[in-house]
Amino acid sequence: MRTAFYISDGTAITSEVFGHALLSLFPVQFNHKTYPFIETEEEAEKILEKISESFQDTGERPLVFYTIVNVDVRKVIAKSVGINYNFLDQFVAPLEKVLGVPSKPEKHRTHSIHETTYDIRIEAVNYALANDDGSNLKDYHEADIILVGVSRSGKTPTSLYLALQYGIKAANYPFTEDDMGDMLKLPSALRRYKDKLFGLTIHSERLHQIRSERRANSRYASLQQCRMELREVENLYRREKIPFLNSTKYSVEEISAKILAQTGLQRRKY
């Protein structure tokens, strides 16, 4: 199997995202290896050896995705026997022309604590945790968005992703059978913040499957119960004109991107 190397003097997240997106276009399996924080020529020389070894072992030239600010370290990696993708750099010179200013590379600019929005993101994560699963009804005035839906419809991972990735304060509230009675009504804690609500729903068979993994053969997991709860929440969303999304076929990343696009909610971090 051919090896893909991701190398950086920072986290290597940018190399990984770019390389992964490119390689995912091919119906080929790769062996992935990431080397973050390669900050000296000596460290880079060691990686060169690993690239050479991989070539010898597999007979296939490795793919090498790298972003390195330090010129001397970069030159070492550029000598590798692999196929080198210094993908960021080749866009820098043309962009300097467009912007009319020279680039000012600083090590670890992206994904570092020096990003101005870093503290905002951590605060948002703490908020999401403190306001997960209806555990706290009194701080909704601080929320950017309040996700609502039945248990196991994807609220918690989405709240955390919105916080970590975008610095958005997302609370979430689960509608339970207790809320339903004759007909599901909007709890008063939520009604006050109705314009922050966003609903999630999910196919009943998928919900039944997810809940069964947690509590097999329970009433909670039964298809009948899942159907009833979903019917109630979807009726509520329509009656109260709460925007909503069926999460069944979407990843947390997709759900989050769709929520932002649909609500126009501004992220605090780009």
Site for its own copies (CB under 8 A): which residue of 48, 63, 143, 145?
Answer: 63
- 141 DSSP assignment: G
**Distance (Å, whole) CA 198 – CA 155:** 10
203 binds its own copies (CB under 8 A): no
Report the residue number, 191 or 215, with the smaller CB distance to its own copies. Answer: 215
**Residue 70 one-letter amino acid:** N
Q: How far is the CB of 150 from its own copies (least distance, A)?
A: 16
**Distance (Å, whole) CA 217 – CA 194:** 35
> Which residue blocks in the chain are alpha helix, DSSP H?
13-23, 41-58, 71-78, 89-99, 118-130, 155-166, 177-180, 188-191, 204-214, 223-239, 252-263
Footprint of its own copies on 71-130 (CB under 8 A): 83, 85, 87-88, 91-92, 95-96, 98-99, 101, 103-105, 108-113, 115, 118, 121-122, 125-126, 129
Q: Which tokens is 143 given?
A: 């929320």
**Distance (Å, whole) CA 201 – CA 246:** 5
Number of residues that bind its own copies (CB under 8 A): 70
By CB under 8 A, name the binding residues for its own copies. 2, 10-14, 16-18, 20-22, 24-28, 32, 34-37, 61, 63, 67, 83, 85, 87-88, 91-92, 95-96, 98-99, 101, 103-105, 108-113, 115, 118, 121-122, 125-126, 129, 132, 156-157, 160-161, 164, 249-254, 256-258, 260-261, 270
